[in-house]
Amino acid sequence: MTSQIDTLKMMPIQLEKDTNQASAFEVAQIQLEKAVKKMNLDPNILAQLKEPEKVLIVSIPVKMDNGTVKVFTGYRAQYNSARGPLKGGVRYHPDVTLDEVKALSAWMTWKCAVAGIPYGGAKGGVICSPKEMSEGELERLSRRYIYEISSIIGPKKDIPAPDVYTTPKIMGWYIDTYNKLTGGASFSTITGKPLELWGSEGRGEATARGLSYTVEVAAKKLSINPLEATAVIQGYGNAGSISAKLLHEQGYKIIAVSDSKGGIYNPQGIDILGVSDYKTKTGSVKGFPKAEFISHKDLLELECDVLVPAALERVITEKNANNIKAKIIAEAANGPTTPEADEILFQKGIFIIPDILANAGGVIVSYFEWVQGLYGYFWSEEKVNSRLKKLILKAFNEVSRIAEKEKTDNRTAAYIYAVSQVAKAMKVRGIWP
Protein backbone atom coordinates (compact mmCIF):
# COMPACT_ATOMS: atom_id res chain seq x y z
CA MET A 1 0.00 0.00 0.00
CA THR A 2 1.20 3.50 -0.73
CA SER A 3 -0.12 6.91 0.16
CA GLN A 4 0.74 10.22 -1.44
CA ILE A 5 0.89 13.66 0.12
CA ASP A 6 0.98 16.57 -2.30
CA THR A 7 2.41 19.92 -1.35
CA LEU A 8 2.53 19.58 2.40
CA LYS A 9 1.45 22.69 4.29
CA MET A 10 3.76 24.07 6.92
CA MET A 11 3.19 26.75 9.52
CA PRO A 12 4.94 30.05 8.65
CA ILE A 13 8.52 29.86 9.84
CA GLN A 14 9.46 31.93 12.86
CA LEU A 15 12.94 33.29 12.22
CA GLU A 16 13.47 34.03 15.90
CA LYS A 17 12.97 30.34 16.76
CA ASP A 18 15.79 28.67 18.70
CA THR A 19 17.27 26.71 15.80
CA ASN A 20 18.88 24.22 18.16
CA GLN A 21 15.29 23.07 18.76
CA ALA A 22 14.13 23.59 15.17
CA SER A 23 13.49 20.64 12.92
CA ALA A 24 15.73 20.02 9.91
CA PHE A 25 13.08 21.34 7.54
CA GLU A 26 12.58 24.46 9.63
CA VAL A 27 16.35 25.03 9.46
CA ALA A 28 16.21 24.68 5.67
CA GLN A 29 13.45 27.29 5.55
CA ILE A 30 15.37 29.64 7.84
CA GLN A 31 18.39 29.39 5.54
CA LEU A 32 16.17 30.13 2.54
CA GLU A 33 14.57 33.18 4.15
CA LYS A 34 17.94 34.55 5.22
CA ALA A 35 19.10 34.52 1.60
CA VAL A 36 15.82 35.94 0.30
CA LYS A 37 16.25 39.01 2.53
CA LYS A 38 19.19 39.96 0.33
CA MET A 39 17.35 39.27 -2.93
CA ASN A 40 14.64 40.95 -4.94
CA LEU A 41 12.64 37.73 -5.15
CA ASP A 42 9.03 37.60 -6.29
CA PRO A 43 7.01 36.64 -3.16
CA ASN A 44 4.90 34.29 -5.31
CA ILE A 45 8.05 32.39 -6.23
CA LEU A 46 9.12 32.27 -2.57
CA ALA A 47 5.73 30.85 -1.55
CA GLN A 48 6.32 27.92 -3.94
CA LEU A 49 9.94 27.45 -2.92
CA LYS A 50 9.06 26.93 0.75
CA GLU A 51 7.30 23.62 0.11
CA PRO A 52 8.11 20.34 -1.67
CA GLU A 53 6.16 19.61 -4.84
CA LYS A 54 5.35 16.08 -3.73
CA VAL A 55 6.09 13.58 -0.95
CA LEU A 56 5.43 9.87 -1.26
CA ILE A 57 5.14 7.75 1.91
CA VAL A 58 5.31 4.00 1.45
CA SER A 59 4.88 0.91 3.61
CA ILE A 60 7.51 -1.74 2.91
CA PRO A 61 6.64 -5.26 4.09
CA VAL A 62 9.75 -7.45 4.26
CA LYS A 63 9.99 -11.13 5.09
CA MET A 64 12.81 -11.37 7.63
CA ASP A 65 15.20 -14.29 7.91
CA ASN A 66 13.30 -15.70 10.89
CA GLY A 67 10.09 -15.95 8.85
CA THR A 68 8.29 -12.95 10.36
CA VAL A 69 7.12 -10.01 8.26
CA LYS A 70 8.30 -6.57 9.36
CA VAL A 71 6.77 -3.43 7.85
CA PHE A 72 9.21 -0.55 7.31
CA THR A 73 8.31 3.03 6.38
CA GLY A 74 9.95 4.74 3.42
CA TYR A 75 9.82 8.22 1.90
CA ARG A 76 10.59 9.98 -1.35
CA ALA A 77 10.40 13.80 -1.32
CA GLN A 78 10.45 15.70 -4.61
CA TYR A 79 11.18 19.32 -3.84
CA ASN A 80 11.44 21.32 -7.07
CA SER A 81 11.65 20.19 -10.71
CA ALA A 82 11.85 23.60 -12.41
CA ARG A 83 15.41 23.03 -13.65
CA GLY A 84 15.10 19.40 -14.71
CA PRO A 85 14.56 15.83 -13.51
CA LEU A 86 14.70 15.35 -9.75
CA LYS A 87 17.89 14.01 -8.21
CA GLY A 88 18.80 12.78 -4.76
CA GLY A 89 20.04 9.87 -2.70
CA VAL A 90 18.25 7.37 -0.49
CA ARG A 91 19.41 6.85 3.09
CA TYR A 92 18.79 3.87 5.38
CA HIS A 93 18.91 4.91 9.03
CA PRO A 94 16.85 4.33 12.18
CA ASP A 95 16.47 8.10 12.67
CA VAL A 96 15.08 8.90 9.21
CA THR A 97 11.99 11.13 9.42
CA LEU A 98 9.66 12.76 6.93
CA ASP A 99 10.87 16.16 8.10
CA GLU A 100 14.51 15.20 7.51
CA VAL A 101 13.82 13.85 4.02
CA LYS A 102 11.99 17.06 3.08
CA ALA A 103 14.92 19.15 4.32
CA LEU A 104 17.40 17.02 2.40
CA SER A 105 15.32 17.35 -0.77
CA ALA A 106 15.41 21.13 -0.38
CA TRP A 107 19.18 21.10 0.10
CA MET A 108 19.51 18.90 -3.00
CA THR A 109 17.56 21.48 -5.00
CA TRP A 110 20.00 24.22 -4.02
CA LYS A 111 23.01 21.92 -4.42
CA CYS A 112 22.12 21.05 -8.02
CA ALA A 113 21.55 24.73 -8.81
CA VAL A 114 24.87 25.78 -7.25
CA ALA A 115 26.65 23.04 -9.20
CA GLY A 116 25.08 24.24 -12.45
CA ILE A 117 23.63 20.86 -13.44
CA PRO A 118 20.16 20.37 -15.00
CA TYR A 119 18.39 18.79 -12.05
CA GLY A 120 15.87 19.58 -9.37
CA GLY A 121 16.18 18.19 -5.85
CA ALA A 122 14.76 15.04 -4.26
CA LYS A 123 15.63 12.70 -1.41
CA GLY A 124 14.56 9.33 -0.12
CA GLY A 125 14.84 7.44 3.12
CA VAL A 126 13.81 4.25 4.87
CA ILE A 127 13.52 3.90 8.64
CA CYS A 128 15.64 0.86 9.38
CA SER A 129 18.85 -0.30 11.07
CA PRO A 130 20.91 -1.67 8.18
CA LYS A 131 23.78 -2.78 10.43
CA GLU A 132 21.37 -5.15 12.17
CA MET A 133 19.99 -6.66 8.96
CA SER A 134 21.34 -9.53 6.88
CA GLU A 135 22.23 -9.01 3.22
CA GLY A 136 19.13 -10.95 2.21
CA GLU A 137 16.89 -8.74 4.34
CA LEU A 138 18.51 -5.60 2.92
CA GLU A 139 18.00 -6.86 -0.62
CA ARG A 140 14.32 -7.61 -0.03
CA LEU A 141 13.85 -4.21 1.64
CA SER A 142 15.61 -2.41 -1.22
CA ARG A 143 13.71 -4.14 -4.01
CA ARG A 144 10.35 -3.55 -2.33
CA TYR A 145 11.17 0.13 -1.69
CA ILE A 146 11.95 0.70 -5.37
CA TYR A 147 8.80 -1.17 -6.34
CA GLU A 148 6.75 1.13 -4.10
CA ILE A 149 8.22 4.37 -5.51
CA SER A 150 8.56 3.12 -9.11
CA SER A 151 5.63 5.20 -10.34
CA ILE A 152 7.43 8.49 -9.61
CA ILE A 153 11.01 7.66 -10.68
CA GLY A 154 12.61 7.26 -14.10
CA PRO A 155 15.52 8.60 -16.18
CA LYS A 156 13.59 11.74 -17.12
CA LYS A 157 11.59 12.01 -13.87
CA ASP A 158 13.54 11.26 -10.68
CA ILE A 159 16.92 9.54 -10.38
CA PRO A 160 17.81 8.01 -6.96
CA ALA A 161 21.40 7.45 -5.79
CA PRO A 162 23.31 6.31 -2.67
CA ASP A 163 23.34 8.21 0.62
CA VAL A 164 23.88 7.24 4.26
CA TYR A 165 24.23 3.43 4.60
CA THR A 166 23.29 2.74 0.98
CA THR A 167 25.88 1.37 -1.42
CA PRO A 168 26.61 0.62 -5.08
CA LYS A 169 25.41 -2.95 -4.43
CA ILE A 170 22.04 -1.60 -3.24
CA MET A 171 21.89 0.63 -6.33
CA GLY A 172 22.40 -2.54 -8.39
CA TRP A 173 19.33 -4.08 -6.74
CA TYR A 174 17.43 -0.87 -7.41
CA ILE A 175 18.17 -0.78 -11.15
CA ASP A 176 17.53 -4.50 -11.61
CA THR A 177 14.15 -4.20 -9.88
CA TYR A 178 13.19 -1.10 -11.86
CA ASN A 179 14.10 -2.72 -15.18
CA LYS A 180 12.19 -5.89 -14.30
CA LEU A 181 9.12 -3.77 -13.50
CA THR A 182 9.30 -1.67 -16.67
CA GLY A 183 10.49 -4.39 -19.02
CA GLY A 184 13.36 -2.18 -20.08
CA ALA A 185 17.14 -2.31 -20.03
CA SER A 186 17.84 1.30 -19.08
CA PHE A 187 20.64 2.04 -16.64
CA SER A 188 20.02 5.79 -16.21
CA THR A 189 17.24 5.70 -13.60
CA ILE A 190 19.74 5.01 -10.81
CA THR A 191 23.24 6.46 -10.31
CA GLY A 192 26.04 5.41 -7.98
CA LYS A 193 25.83 1.91 -9.48
CA PRO A 194 28.63 -0.67 -9.72
CA LEU A 195 30.85 -0.25 -12.79
CA GLU A 196 29.58 -3.61 -14.03
CA LEU A 197 26.12 -2.02 -14.35
CA TRP A 198 27.44 1.08 -16.12
CA GLY A 199 28.26 3.18 -13.14
CA SER A 200 30.77 5.98 -13.60
CA GLU A 201 34.49 5.92 -12.97
CA GLY A 202 35.25 8.25 -10.06
CA ARG A 203 31.76 8.10 -8.53
CA GLY A 204 32.86 6.38 -5.31
CA GLU A 205 35.28 9.17 -4.41
CA ALA A 206 33.33 12.03 -5.99
CA THR A 207 31.85 13.63 -2.86
CA ALA A 208 35.20 13.69 -1.06
CA ARG A 209 37.15 14.64 -4.18
CA GLY A 210 34.90 17.61 -4.85
CA LEU A 211 35.33 18.66 -1.23
CA SER A 212 39.12 18.36 -1.52
CA TYR A 213 39.07 20.66 -4.56
CA THR A 214 37.13 23.31 -2.63
CA VAL A 215 39.46 23.00 0.38
CA GLU A 216 42.44 23.40 -1.93
CA VAL A 217 41.21 26.72 -3.33
CA ALA A 218 39.95 27.95 0.07
CA ALA A 219 43.36 27.26 1.62
CA LYS A 220 45.03 29.32 -1.11
CA LYS A 221 42.54 32.11 -0.47
CA LEU A 222 43.48 32.09 3.24
CA SER A 223 47.22 31.58 2.62
CA ILE A 224 47.23 28.19 4.36
CA ASN A 225 50.06 25.87 3.33
CA PRO A 226 48.75 22.26 3.39
CA LEU A 227 52.25 20.97 4.10
CA GLU A 228 52.18 22.82 7.42
CA ALA A 229 48.48 22.38 8.22
CA THR A 230 46.26 19.99 10.18
CA ALA A 231 42.83 18.52 9.52
CA VAL A 232 40.13 16.84 11.63
CA ILE A 233 37.47 14.52 10.19
CA GLN A 234 34.20 13.96 12.10
CA GLY A 235 32.53 10.90 10.57
CA TYR A 236 34.44 8.10 8.88
CA GLY A 237 32.09 6.64 6.33
CA ASN A 238 32.61 6.97 2.60
CA ALA A 239 32.85 10.77 2.46
CA GLY A 240 34.84 11.15 5.69
CA SER A 241 37.39 8.40 5.11
CA ILE A 242 38.07 9.42 1.51
CA SER A 243 38.26 13.10 2.51
CA ALA A 244 40.92 12.13 5.04
CA LYS A 245 42.87 10.24 2.37
CA LEU A 246 42.67 13.04 -0.21
CA LEU A 247 43.54 15.82 2.26
CA HIS A 248 46.46 13.72 3.47
CA GLU A 249 47.61 13.46 -0.15
CA GLN A 250 47.49 17.26 -0.36
CA GLY A 251 49.87 17.37 2.60
CA TYR A 252 47.55 17.86 5.58
CA LYS A 253 48.40 16.13 8.85
CA ILE A 254 45.20 14.34 9.91
CA ILE A 255 45.22 14.62 13.71
CA ALA A 256 41.76 13.22 14.60
CA VAL A 257 38.96 11.17 13.08
CA SER A 258 35.76 9.66 14.46
CA ASP A 259 32.84 7.44 13.59
CA SER A 260 29.55 6.61 15.33
CA LYS A 261 31.35 4.61 18.06
CA GLY A 262 33.97 7.19 19.03
CA GLY A 263 37.00 9.20 17.99
CA ILE A 264 40.79 8.93 17.96
CA TYR A 265 43.41 11.66 18.29
CA ASN A 266 47.15 11.93 17.72
CA PRO A 267 48.67 15.43 17.51
CA GLN A 268 51.63 13.96 15.60
CA GLY A 269 49.31 12.70 12.87
CA ILE A 270 47.24 9.57 12.29
CA ASP A 271 48.20 6.78 9.92
CA ILE A 272 45.22 7.04 7.56
CA LEU A 273 45.90 3.76 5.73
CA GLY A 274 46.32 2.02 9.06
CA VAL A 275 43.05 3.43 10.38
CA SER A 276 41.17 2.32 7.26
CA ASP A 277 42.52 -1.22 7.59
CA TYR A 278 41.70 -1.22 11.31
CA LYS A 279 38.11 -0.10 10.70
CA THR A 280 37.66 -2.75 8.01
CA LYS A 281 38.73 -5.41 10.52
CA THR A 282 36.95 -4.10 13.64
CA GLY A 283 34.03 -2.04 12.31
CA SER A 284 35.18 1.18 13.97
CA VAL A 285 38.12 3.56 14.30
CA LYS A 286 37.65 3.42 18.07
CA GLY A 287 40.51 1.66 19.82
CA PHE A 288 43.07 2.26 17.07
CA PRO A 289 46.32 1.54 18.93
CA LYS A 290 48.39 4.45 17.64
CA ALA A 291 46.07 7.18 18.95
CA GLU A 292 44.18 8.16 22.08
CA PHE A 293 40.41 8.24 22.53
CA ILE A 294 38.63 11.56 22.01
CA SER A 295 34.94 12.39 22.43
CA HIS A 296 32.86 13.76 19.58
CA LYS A 297 32.53 17.06 21.44
CA ASP A 298 36.26 17.49 21.97
CA LEU A 299 37.10 16.42 18.44
CA LEU A 300 34.97 19.18 16.94
CA GLU A 301 36.67 21.74 19.18
CA LEU A 302 40.28 20.78 18.39
CA GLU A 303 42.61 23.47 17.11
CA CYS A 304 43.15 22.72 13.41
CA ASP A 305 43.25 24.34 10.00
CA VAL A 306 40.48 22.28 8.38
CA LEU A 307 37.49 20.66 10.07
CA VAL A 308 35.37 18.27 7.98
CA PRO A 309 31.97 17.39 9.51
CA ALA A 310 31.12 14.24 7.54
CA ALA A 311 28.39 12.59 9.63
CA LEU A 312 24.80 13.73 10.19
CA GLU A 313 22.96 17.01 10.70
CA ARG A 314 23.34 19.68 13.40
CA VAL A 315 26.62 18.79 15.08
CA ILE A 316 27.81 22.42 15.19
CA THR A 317 25.32 24.50 17.14
CA GLU A 318 25.03 27.65 19.19
CA LYS A 319 26.32 25.63 22.15
CA ASN A 320 29.71 24.72 20.69
CA ALA A 321 30.27 27.22 17.86
CA ASN A 322 32.26 29.59 20.09
CA ASN A 323 34.63 26.72 20.87
CA ILE A 324 35.35 25.83 17.24
CA LYS A 325 38.97 26.69 16.41
CA ALA A 326 39.24 25.55 12.78
CA LYS A 327 40.11 28.10 10.09
CA ILE A 328 38.10 26.28 7.42
CA ILE A 329 34.98 24.15 7.89
CA ALA A 330 34.27 22.00 4.83
CA GLU A 331 30.85 20.39 5.18
CA ALA A 332 30.90 16.87 3.78
CA ALA A 333 27.64 16.15 5.64
CA ASN A 334 24.31 17.76 4.84
CA GLY A 335 23.17 20.37 7.35
CA PRO A 336 25.89 19.93 10.01
CA THR A 337 25.74 23.59 11.12
CA THR A 338 22.68 25.36 12.54
CA PRO A 339 21.78 28.92 11.47
CA GLU A 340 22.66 30.29 14.91
CA ALA A 341 26.05 28.62 14.75
CA ASP A 342 26.55 30.05 11.27
CA GLU A 343 26.26 33.58 12.65
CA ILE A 344 28.78 32.89 15.41
CA LEU A 345 31.28 31.27 13.06
CA PHE A 346 30.96 34.12 10.55
CA GLN A 347 31.67 36.67 13.27
CA LYS A 348 34.71 34.60 14.33
CA GLY A 349 36.03 34.78 10.77
CA ILE A 350 35.89 31.03 10.14
CA PHE A 351 35.64 30.23 6.44
CA ILE A 352 32.76 27.80 5.87
CA ILE A 353 32.46 25.87 2.63
CA PRO A 354 28.73 25.09 2.92
CA ASP A 355 27.30 21.65 2.30
CA ILE A 356 25.49 22.59 -0.90
CA LEU A 357 28.88 23.50 -2.36
CA ALA A 358 31.42 21.39 -0.47
CA ASN A 359 29.74 18.01 -1.00
CA ALA A 360 28.29 18.69 -4.46
CA GLY A 361 30.89 16.42 -6.05
CA GLY A 362 28.67 13.39 -5.54
CA VAL A 363 25.72 14.77 -7.45
CA ILE A 364 27.97 16.27 -10.12
CA VAL A 365 29.46 12.87 -10.92
CA SER A 366 26.01 11.28 -10.63
CA TYR A 367 25.03 13.72 -13.38
CA PHE A 368 28.04 12.55 -15.40
CA GLU A 369 26.96 8.93 -14.84
CA TRP A 370 23.42 9.73 -15.99
CA VAL A 371 24.70 11.43 -19.15
CA GLN A 372 27.09 8.56 -19.90
CA GLY A 373 24.30 6.02 -19.41
CA LEU A 374 21.88 7.89 -21.67
CA TYR A 375 24.44 7.99 -24.48
CA GLY A 376 26.07 4.64 -23.81
CA TYR A 377 29.48 6.30 -23.95
CA PHE A 378 31.73 6.19 -20.90
CA TRP A 379 34.62 8.39 -19.78
CA SER A 380 37.93 7.69 -18.09
CA GLU A 381 38.37 8.50 -14.40
CA GLU A 382 40.80 11.24 -15.40
CA LYS A 383 38.16 12.91 -17.56
CA VAL A 384 35.51 12.55 -14.84
CA ASN A 385 37.76 14.16 -12.21
CA SER A 386 38.83 16.94 -14.56
CA ARG A 387 35.24 17.85 -15.39
CA LEU A 388 34.26 17.60 -11.72
CA LYS A 389 37.01 20.03 -10.75
CA LYS A 390 35.99 22.48 -13.46
CA LEU A 391 32.34 22.55 -12.38
CA ILE A 392 32.89 22.70 -8.62
CA LEU A 393 35.53 25.43 -8.81
CA LYS A 394 33.27 27.47 -11.06
CA ALA A 395 30.59 27.18 -8.37
CA PHE A 396 33.11 28.04 -5.61
CA ASN A 397 34.21 31.18 -7.43
CA GLU A 398 30.63 32.31 -8.04
CA VAL A 399 29.70 31.81 -4.38
CA SER A 400 32.84 33.68 -3.24
CA ARG A 401 32.04 36.55 -5.60
CA ILE A 402 28.52 36.91 -4.20
CA ALA A 403 29.73 36.63 -0.59
CA GLU A 404 32.21 39.46 -1.13
CA LYS A 405 29.72 41.60 -3.03
CA GLU A 406 26.93 41.17 -0.47
CA LYS A 407 29.31 41.14 2.54
CA THR A 408 27.67 37.95 3.76
CA ASP A 409 28.65 34.42 4.74
CA ASN A 410 29.32 31.73 2.15
CA ARG A 411 26.17 29.73 2.91
CA THR A 412 23.91 32.72 2.34
CA ALA A 413 25.85 33.53 -0.83
CA ALA A 414 25.40 29.96 -2.06
CA TYR A 415 21.67 30.19 -1.36
CA ILE A 416 21.40 33.53 -3.17
CA TYR A 417 23.03 31.98 -6.23
CA ALA A 418 21.01 28.76 -6.10
CA VAL A 419 17.64 30.35 -5.40
CA SER A 420 18.13 32.89 -8.18
CA GLN A 421 18.81 30.07 -10.68
CA VAL A 422 15.73 28.10 -9.61
CA ALA A 423 13.55 31.24 -9.53
CA LYS A 424 14.55 32.18 -13.08
CA ALA A 425 13.50 28.76 -14.33
CA MET A 426 10.20 28.92 -12.44
CA LYS A 427 9.45 32.38 -13.79
CA VAL A 428 9.92 31.49 -17.46
CA ARG A 429 7.99 28.22 -17.03
CA GLY A 430 5.02 29.83 -15.28
CA ILE A 431 2.23 27.88 -13.55
CA TRP A 432 0.01 25.35 -15.30
CA PRO A 433 -2.88 24.72 -15.19
Which of 298, 359, 306, 270 is CA-nearest to residue 89? 359
- The answer to whether the CB of 51 falls within 8 A of the CB of 105 is no
In 183-288, where does DSSP find H-type helix? 206-221, 238-250, 272-282
Rounded CA-CA distance 331/364 in Å is 16
- DSSP-based helix, strand, coil % in the chain, nearest 5: 45, 20, 35
Which of 109, 167, 181 is CA-nearest to residue 138? 167
Bridge partners of 125, per DSSP, are: 75, 91
Does the active-site annotation cover 102? no
In three-state secondary structure terms, 88 is strand
- The answer to whether the CB of 304 falls within 8 A of the CB of 326 is yes
- The answer to whether the CB of 286 falls within 8 A of the CB of 260 is no
Rounded CA-CA distance 92/279 in Å is 20
Please name the residues in contact with 209: beta carbons below 8 A apart, sequence gap of 6 or more.
202, 242, 246, 361, 385, 388
Which of 412, 418, 259 is CA-nearest to residue 339? 412
- Written as one letter, the residue type at 198 is W
Q: Where are the beta strands (DSSP E) in 248-356?
A: 253-259, 262-265, 292-294, 306-309, 328-330, 351-353
Going from the C-alpha of 50 to that of each of 31, 79, 129, 422, the distances in angstroms are 11, 9, 31, 12
Bridge partners of 74, per DSSP, are: 58, 126
Q: Which of 54, 87, 111, 123 is catalytic?
A: 123
Q: Where in the sequence numbering do the catalytic residues fall?
A: 123
